[in-house]
C-alpha cells in the first residue's frame, strides 16, 4: 500500500515506460508534453498511484497531422506493459483523426477541441461562442515556453516584421492561468506586449482536466 | 547561399538566369530582390503574364512542395508569400491592361469564428497567379457574407477555409443554406485548411477538398472544365 502521508513515489510523473511487474495493474496516460506538469500535479496531489504518465513532445502541436500516428505508436508500445492506456490529448487540430485512432485502438481521450477549451471547461468554452475570437490564449505552459514555442517557432525572433501578418487580426492575449503565480502573470503580460496586444488574465485552474484524470481507473 | 547572392547583380543576369534567381529569391523570401527583378523583366519587354507564371508562380510552386514535404515551415512560407505579393502588386494593374487570360472567378474566405488566414491568402494568391479573379472576403465570415458575395460577383467557385476543429463544421451551415436557397449547384464549392480531409468535405457537401494551393489550382481548373463540358452537352 502507498504511504498516505506523502504522494507515492509511483505517482510522480514518469517520462519513460514503467516496466515493473506492477505495471499491469496500472494505467498509462499518454499525453501532450504541454500537459506534463499539470497532469503530474493532479496525480501527485490526489495520490493516484495507479497512474503513470508518458509525454510526447509538445512541439507536435505545430504539426498536428503527426499527432494521431505518434499517439497510436505510443499506445501500441504501452500495451504489453500496462493494464490500460488513456490519451491526454484534445483533438488538437487533427480534425477528428485522433478520435479515429482512439476508436481503432480502443482508448479514450480528454474531451474537447484543444487545451484552451478544456482548461476553460469545455461547456463554458462552447457557450462563450465567438466572444474570444480575436484573442490569443496562453496557458502556464505556453507562458513558460513562450519564447521557444511562440516567438521562435513562428520565426518572430529572426523576422519580427512577420508579427502583424500573424497577429494583425488579434486584439488581446488571454492568459488562462492554471496556478497563481505573480511571476507567470508578469511573463504573460510581457508576452502580450511583445505581440503588441492587450492583456487579460483569467484564473481557470485545470478545468475539465482534473476530473478526467481523477476518474481514470 | 545568402553570401554568394550578395554579389549577384540582377540586371547583369540573362533572362533565364534571372528567372532562376527569382525562384531562389522567392524561396528565401527576399521581397526587394523580387520587386527589382520584376521591374527588370518588364523593362526587357517581358509580358506581365509571363513574369507572373514563369517567375513568381513557378517559384511559389517550389516553395509549396518543400512546405508540404516538411523542408520549409510556416515562417519561411510567409516570407515567400510576402515576396510574391510584392511582385504581384507591380504586375496586377499591368495584367489588367494587357488582357491576361481569365480562367474564372473565385470568392474565398475563412469561416465564422476563425481568424487564421495564412493558408487562405496563399490559395487566393496562387489562384490569382493561375488566372482566376479572386474576391477575398477575409476572415470570420458568417453565411450572409458568402451569400452576398456570390450574388454580387457571380463566381464559378466558392472557397472556404477553416483551421480550427470548432469552426470547420460551419462550412456545412453555408452549404446547407445554399441548398435551402436552391443555389448550391450553381457553384463549385471547394474547402481547405489543415484539419480538414476528403471525408469531411464530402460530409459537408462540398465538391472538393484540397490539401494545398497547388492542388487547389489544378482542381479548380479541372472542375471548371468539367462544368463547361456539362453545360455544353446540355446536362
Ligand atoms: C500559424 C498558426 C496560427 C497563427 C495564425 C496567424 C494567421 N494570421 O493566420 C496564430 C499564432 C495567430 C494562431 C492562433 C491560434 N491558433 Co493556430 N495555428 C497555426 C499553425 C501553426 C499553422 C497554420 C498555418 O498558417 N499554416 C500554413 C498554411 C500555409 O497552411 P494551411 O493553413 O494549412 O493552408 C494550406 C492548406 O490547408 C490549404 N487551404 C487552406 N485554406 C484553404 C481554403 C480552400 C478553399 C482550399 C481549397 C484550400 C485551403 O492550402 C493552404 C496553402 O497550401 C496551426 C498548426 C498547423 N500546422 O496547421 C495552428 C492551429 C491551427 N492553431 C490552433 C489554435 C488552437 C489556435 C488558437 C486558438 C491558439 C491560441 N493560443 O489562442 C488561436 C486561434 C484564434 C482564432 N480565433 O482563430 C490549433 C487548432 C486546434 C483545434 N482543435 O482546432 C492548431 C492546429 C495548433 C494546435 N495543434 O494547437 N495560430
The answer to whether position A134 is within a domain reads yes
Q: Which of A97, A94, A98, A95 is nearest to A30 (CA)?
A: A98
| Whether the CB of A197 sits within 6 Å of ligand 1 | no
Q: A67: nearest CA in chain B?
A: B195
Same domain, A136 and A77: no
pLDDT of A15 > 80? The answer is: no
Q: What is the B74 CA–ligand 1 centroid distance (Å)?
A: 10
Does the beta-carbon distance from B197 to A64 stay under 8 Å?
A: no
Quick check: ipTM above 0.90?
no
Considering only CB atoms, which chain A residues are within 8 Å of B75? Answer: 154-156, 158-159, 162
Which atom of ligand 1 sits closest to the CA of residue B163? 61
pLDDT attached to residue B234: 63
Dihedral, B83, B88, B91, B97 alpha carbons, nearest 10: 180
Same domain, A95 and A131: no
A51 pairs with which residues across the strands?
A27
Strand A172-177 relative to strand A198-203, pairing? parallel
Same domain, A58 and A87: yes
- DSSP assignment of A124-158 equals HHHHHTTTTTTEEEE-HHHHHTIIIIIIITTTTTT
- Domain of A147, in residue numbers: 122-203
Q: Does B200 touch chain A (CB under 8 A)?
A: yes
What pLDDT digit, counting tens, does each position of B168-225 carry? Answer: 999 999 999 999 999 999 999 999 999 999 999 999 999 999 999 999 999 999 999 9
Query: Going by C-beta distance under 8 Å and a sequence separation of 6 or more, which residues neighbour residue A105?
Result: A72, A75, A76, A85
The C-alpha cell at A166 is 500573424
pLDDT attached to residue A7: 41
pLDDT attached to residue A1: 37
**Local confidence band at A11 (pLDDT 50, 70, 90 cut-offs):** very low
Q: Does B45 touch chain A (CB under 8 A)?
A: no
Pick from B60, B61, B119 the residue to mutate for probing ligand 1's pocket: most ligand atoms within 8 Å of its CB.
B119
pLDDT attached to residue A5: 41
Q: Look up the pTM and report it.
A: 0.91
Tally of domains within chain A = 2
pLDDT attached to residue A21: 56
What pLDDT digit, counting tens, does each position of A198-216 carry? Answer: 999 999 999 999 999 999 9
What pLDDT digit, counting tens, does each position of A88-137 carry? Answer: 999 999 999 999 999 999 999 999 999 999 999 999 999 998 889 999 99
Would you report the helix, strand and coil content of chain A in percent, each value rounded to 5? 50, 15, 35
Check which CATH number belongs to the domain holding A87 and give it.
Answer: 3.40.50.960
Q: What is the A51 CA–ligand 1 centroid distance (Å)?
A: 33
Same domain, A40 and A96: yes
**Local confidence band at B131 (pLDDT 50, 70, 90 cut-offs):** very high
Amino acid at each position: 500500500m502507498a504511504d498516505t502521508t506523502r504522494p507515492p513515489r509511483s505517482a510522480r510523473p514518469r517520462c519513460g515506460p514503467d516496466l515493473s511487474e506492477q505495471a499491469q495493474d496500472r494505467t498509462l496516460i499518454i499525453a501532450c508534453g504541454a500537459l506534463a506538469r499539470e497532469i503530474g500535479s493532479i496525480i501527485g496531489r490526489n495520490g493516484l498511484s495507479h497512474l503513470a504518465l508518458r509525454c510526447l513532445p509538445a512541439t507536435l502541436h505545430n504539426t498536428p497531422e503527426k499527432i494521431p500516428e505518434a499517439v497510436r505508436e505510443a499506445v501500441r508500445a504501452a500495451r504489453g506493459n500496462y493494464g490500460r492506456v488513456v490519451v491526454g490529448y484534445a483533438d488538437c487540430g487533427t480534425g477528428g483523426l485522433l478520435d479515429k485512432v482512439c476508436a481503432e485502438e480502443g482508448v479514450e481521450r480528454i474531451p474537447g477541441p484543444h487545451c484552451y477549451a478544456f482548461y476553460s471547461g469545455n461547456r463554458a468554452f462552447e457557450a462563450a461562442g465567438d466572444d474570444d475570437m480575436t484573442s490569443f490564449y496562453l496557458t502556464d505552459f505556453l507562458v513558460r515556453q513562450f519564447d521557444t514555442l511562440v516567438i521562435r517557432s513562428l520565426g518572430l525572433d529572426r523576422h519580427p516584421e512577420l508579427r502583424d501578418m500573424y497577429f494583425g487580426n488579434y486584439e488581446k492575449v488571454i492568459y488562462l492561468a492554471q496556478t497563481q503565480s505573480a511571476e507567470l502573470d508578469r511573463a504573460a503580460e510581457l508576452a502580450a506586449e511583445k505581440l503588441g496586444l492587450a492583456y487579460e488574465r483569467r484564473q481557470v485552474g485545470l478545468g475539465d482536466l482534473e476530473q478526467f484524470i481523477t476518474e481514470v481507473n | 547561399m545568402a553570401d554568394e547572392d550578395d554579389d549577384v547583380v540582377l540586371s547583369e543576369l540573362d533572362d533565364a538566369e534571372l528567372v532562376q534567381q527569382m525562384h531562389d529569391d522567392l524561396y528565401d523570401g527576399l521581397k526587394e530582390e523580387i520587386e527589382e527583378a520584376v521591374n527588370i523583366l518588364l523593362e526587357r519587354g517581358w509580358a506581365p503574364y509571363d513574369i507572373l507564371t514563369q517567375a513568381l508562380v513557378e517559384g511559389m510552386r517550389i516553395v509549396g512542395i518543400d512546405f508540404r514535404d516538411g523542408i520549409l515551415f510556416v515562417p519561411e512560407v510567409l516570407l515567400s508569400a510576402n515576396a510574391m505579393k510584392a511582385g504581384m502588386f507591380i504586375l496586377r494593374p499591368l495584367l489588367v491592361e494587357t488582357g491576361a487570360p481569365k480562367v474564372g472567378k473565385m470568392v474565398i474566405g475563412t469561416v465564422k469564428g476563425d481568424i487564421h488566414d495564412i493558408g487562405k491568402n496563399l490559395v487566393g494568391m496562387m489562384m490569382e497567379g493561375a488566372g482566376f479573379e479572386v474576391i477575398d472576403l477575409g476572415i470570420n465570415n458568417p453565411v450572409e457574407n458568402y451569400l452576398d458575395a456570390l450574388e454580387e460577383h457571380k463566381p464559378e467557385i466558392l472557397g472556404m477555409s477553416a483551421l480550427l476543429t470548432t469552426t470547420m463544421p460551419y462550412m456545412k451551415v453555408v452549404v446547407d443554406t445554399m441548398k435551402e436557397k436552391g443555389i448550391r449547384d450553381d457553384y463549385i464549392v471547394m474547402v481547405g485548411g489543415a484539419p480538414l480531409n476528403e471525408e469531411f468535405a464530402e460530409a459537408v457537401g462540398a465538391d472538393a477538398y484540397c490539401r494545398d494551393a497547388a492542388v487547389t489550382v489544378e482542381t479548380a481548373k479541372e472542375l471548371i472544365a468539367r462544368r463547361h463540358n456539362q453545360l455544353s452537352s446540355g446536362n
